[in-house]
Amino acid sequence: MQLPLIYSAGLLLLALLAASPALDSIARFMWGDRRRIAFTWRGFWVDQEGVVAITYLFPTGNNSATAPTAVQASQTITQTALVFFADSDTQAVVTTNWGLPASAPFFGFPMIWMIKQLGGASDSSFATNFTFGITNTNSVTINKIGNGTGSGGTYLLTLRKGAFTT
């Protein structure tokens, strides 16, 4: 008797996944134009729980939640990612897998550019302040200074490793 219940649950899940584009339209109607990340169940729960969401864009391919592998990272000097902070988030760790030499942070590498793409629910005209930690040669730590209302948003992160060979 349990087998039909499992099939029903599976069909319900498939129906919900197929309805994602329709749910995106409903979300845009209810909460405004929120293009920070495409509406997915992961994106929905990340938004509701207030957890940083990192979407690696290059070199992993478009919209990947998985950091580049060491092989992918070794073939490029530039990496890009979208980093979403909720108002209450304070830190994100972006994995580069470059394996830079220990001296790289001393010389200011990797170089970091972070540009505000979209603001939070009650956005202000200015971006929040950030500090960056580059002591680990395989990742960049982003610390968000403010965590009040309107401090969240989506940021385009661009990293360049310089002339270091790995």
What pLDDT, on the 0 to 100 scale, is given for residue 7?
A: 53
The answer on 22 and 44 residing in a single domain is no
The answer on 132 and 105 residing in a single domain is yes
- Whole-number average pLDDT of the chain: 75
Number of domains the chain contains = 2
The pLDDT tens digits for 30-57 are 444 444 444 444 444 444 456 899 999 9
pTM of structure? 0.67
What pLDDT, on the 0 to 100 scale, is given for residue 127?
A: 62
What pLDDT, on the 0 to 100 scale, is given for residue 92?
A: 95
What pLDDT, on the 0 to 100 scale, is given for residue 33?
A: 42
Residue 75: give its domain's CATH number. Answer: 2.60.120
pLDDT at 96 over 90: yes
Residue span of the structural domain in which 148 resides:
35-160
The pLDDT tens digits for 97-137 are 999 999 999 899 999 999 988 766 555 555 678 999 998 88
Look at strands 111-119 and 153-160 and give their pairing: antiparallel
What percent of the chain is predicted at pLDDT more than 90?
40
Q: Which of 93, 61, 100 is nearest to 79 (CA)?
A: 61
The answer on 40 and 28 residing in a single domain is no
The answer on 68 and 19 residing in a single domain is no
The answer on 70 and 22 residing in a single domain is no
The sign one gets for the Cα dihedral 127, 73, 39, 21 is positive
Q: Of the segments 10-19, 124-133, 148-157, which one has the largest average pLDDT value?
A: 148-157
How does residue 26 score in pLDDT terms, banded at 50, 70 and 90?
Answer: very low
Q: Is 153 exposed, middle or buried (0-12, 13-18, 19+ CB in 10 A)?
A: buried
Q: Is 164 exposed, middle or buried (0-12, 13-18, 19+ CB in 10 A)?
A: middle
Mean pLDDT of 80-87: 92
What pLDDT, on the 0 to 100 scale, is given for residue 10?
A: 53
The answer on 107 and 53 residing in a single domain is yes
